Chains A and B, each alone.
Chain A
Amino acid sequence: MSTKAEIFSKLAIRTEAVKPKRMVFVIRPEDLRKVFEELIKAFGPESFYLSTIVGVDLPAENRMRLDYYIHLVPEGETVVIRTFIDRSNPVIDSIIDIIPGALAGESETFDLLGIVFKGNPYLKRGFFVPVDLVQKGIHPLRKDSGV
């Protein structure tokens, strides 16, 4: 737990918790790739995996929230890395060259919420959403999409 806390608290702005008792580390969106590179250096690529990427649309605060859930295999714990990005221009770096397992999560978040992951060559619009919605340019999970 000591090395984990060092890595995360170096870059974290603040910490919260998601029930039940899972640690959340809030970071700036620019530091995202650094966090993953540090994780691979400290733990080795075999001892953790990226479990899921959750995107939440918060129109009231005018931003979108992205959570990266990382599961550490030896301890059996899940930690959360949380960033906030601006709703009018949702762009963030992609981590697909460091962790190729992010392909599924990033493609789905792009298609449903409209967050662009820079550097991911596989993003396309018809990944999940049916064709008639794609033609109208709607991202269904946004709160103002009218679906």
Chain B
Amino acid sequence: MAITKIVEVPLVIAEIPIGPQHPALHEPLLLKVYADGEEVVKVEVNTGYNHRGIEKLCEKNTYIKDLFIIGRVCGICNAVHTDCYVRALEYLLGLEPSPRAKYLRVLTMELERIHSHMLVNATMAEVIGFDSLFMQIMLDREKAMKAKEILTGNRVMADYIIVGGVRRDIDDAKKEKIKDLLLKLRPRVEYYKKVFEEDETIVKRLVDVGRLKPVDVTLHSLVGPVARASGVRTDARAEDKYDAYSEIPFNVVTRKEGDSWARMMVRWDEVLESINISLYILDHLPSDGNAVPDEKRLPRIFPAGDSYARVEAPRGELTYYVMSDGRSTNPYRVKIRTPSFNNIINSAFMYIGHSLADVPVILTSLDPCISCMERVTVVDLKNNTRYRVTVRELASGKV
């Protein structure tokens, strides 16, 4: 058949802003996704919607007031932020808290890791569309929140750690209640891990999506469970051995596959490890030393110098840099580098080549620190119309 007419079809690349309302960490993020049909060709990351100026604010308040400000940087990881800042201050002073205080600090941080990992797995289930699993995981997460309330006085905002130790002590009745809750939680977590391994929908959506090689992980500075799921064996708890981790036996969980499924499985394994660590602490709490320092006699002026502390937050490696000039009651420089900062901003290369329905799956597997996704606006360049699409429709591939 002879060629009768040559028709030129313009190639339309749609720009889809996955808008500031929905994803990421400490700041709502604008992901501009450039998609050719269903396939993603380029992603640009825009930030700046929720910058609260915390580093500048810390330079205007005293060291101890900063402690409470720092605790409110992030809702889910507030205990690890406070712990890192307090340890940076303790390195400046050369002070070591008593062993009982160290064990109690680790207990708070592990309880927080349990409830944070359950939250992100529930969010992943919701993004896929598996709403009943999301509700079930949230119901069991309440046990971890209750344990945190018994220990620190508040379900979410711990405000528990202070220079020299912790703020409240724990007695035997509370220990029994926390142990009881954790023992009830453990078989439920094992069941959820089995669901993630065997359920067909989850396996089909998550396996082979967003595969990362180890050399990509280190060149792009990705940290936390994202790195451990690709085989890079780095965990700040095992390396720095801060607080009481030098005395508590635990395993660093790694996997070889490097895709979204491996990232979620690393998190479930870490929850089981955290439950074991917490039970070990409750059985072996040392009873020497007073865990609670006298809050009326905290130091006001810190000696000159700078210190750098690292901690393993649920999302990765969190670092604090504190510099003091030895003369004023305010720090000279406080620098916070949160794990989601590296994970989300440096990961724009991971989306290329996947279809549009995989974008929320990859983003949730990187664990942005806000647990709620809003609507997406799709701009259709050909017809010049705009219509709103819910994330569920986007995730099920109907767009």
What residues of chain A have their CB less than 8 Å away from a CB belonging to chain B?
A: 18-20, 22, 45-52, 54, 56, 67, 69, 71, 73, 76-78, 80, 99-105, 107-108, 112, 126-130, 140-141, 147
Contacts and interface: CB of A to CB of B under 8 A. Distances in A.
B276 interface: no
Nearest to B44: A122
A106 to B, nearest CB: 11
Contacts of B321: 52, 54, 67
Interface in B215-237: 215, 217-223, 232-234
Contact of A128 (B48, B217, B238): B48
A69 B308 CA distance: 10
A128 B217 CA distance: 24
B84 to A, nearest CB: 13
Interface residues of B, number: 42
A19 B323 CA distance: 10
Contacts of B317: 51, 71
A50 B223 CA distance: 10
B56 A141 contact: yes
B333 interface: yes
Contacts of B217: 49
A51 to B, nearest CB: 6
Contacts of A45: 215, 218-219
B342 interface: yes
A19 B304 CA distance: 11
Interface string B49-84: 001010110000000000000000000000000000
B333 A56 contact: yes
B47 interface: yes
Contacts of A126: 48
Contacts of A56: 323, 332-333
Contact of B346 (A22, A78, A101, A141): A101
A51 B337 contact: yes
A103 B346 contact: yes
B192 interface: no
Contacts of B346: 100-101, 103-104
Contact of A46 (B56, B214, B349): B214
B307 A130 contact: no
Interface of B: 46-48, 51, 53, 55-56, 91-92, 214-215, 217-223, 232-234, 238-240, 305-308, 310, 317, 319, 321, 323, 332-333, 335, 337, 341-342, 345-346, 349
20 contacts: A18-B307, A19-B92, A19-B305, A45-B218, A46-B218, A46-B232, A49-B218, A49-B219, A52-B321, A67-B321, A69-B319, A76-B239, A99-B219, A101-B220, A101-B342, A103-B346, A104-B346, A108-B341, A127-B48, A147-B53
Contact of B234 (A19, A73, A129): A73
Contacts of B233: 73
Nearest to A111: B48
B47 A20 contact: no
B243 to A, nearest CB: 13
Contacts of B221: 49-51, 99, 101-102, 104
B204 to A, nearest CB: 31
Contacts of B91: 19-20
Given A54-B335, A104-B346, A147-B56, A71 B47 contact: no
Nearest to A51: B319
A47 to B, nearest CB: 7
Residue among B46, B233, B306 facing the most chain A CB atoms (10 A cut-off): B306
A3 to B, nearest CB: 18
Given A51-B223, A54-B333, A100-B220, 7 more contacts: A47-B218, A76-B238, A78-B310, A100-B219, A100-B349, A102-B221, A127-B46
Contacts of B222: 101
A126 B49 CA distance: 10
Nearest to B93: A19
Contact of A129 (B51, B307, B308): B51
Q: Considering the complex of A and B, which 9 residue pairs feature the smallest CB-CB distances, nearest first?
A: A101-B221, A76-B239, A19-B307, A52-B337, A104-B345, A49-B218, A19-B91, A101-B220, A128-B51
Contacts of B223: 49, 51
Contacts of B240: 76
A100 to B, nearest CB: 5
B93 to A, nearest CB: 10
A104 B92 CA distance: 28
Residue among B46, B51, B215, B317 facing the most chain A CB atoms (10 A cut-off): B51
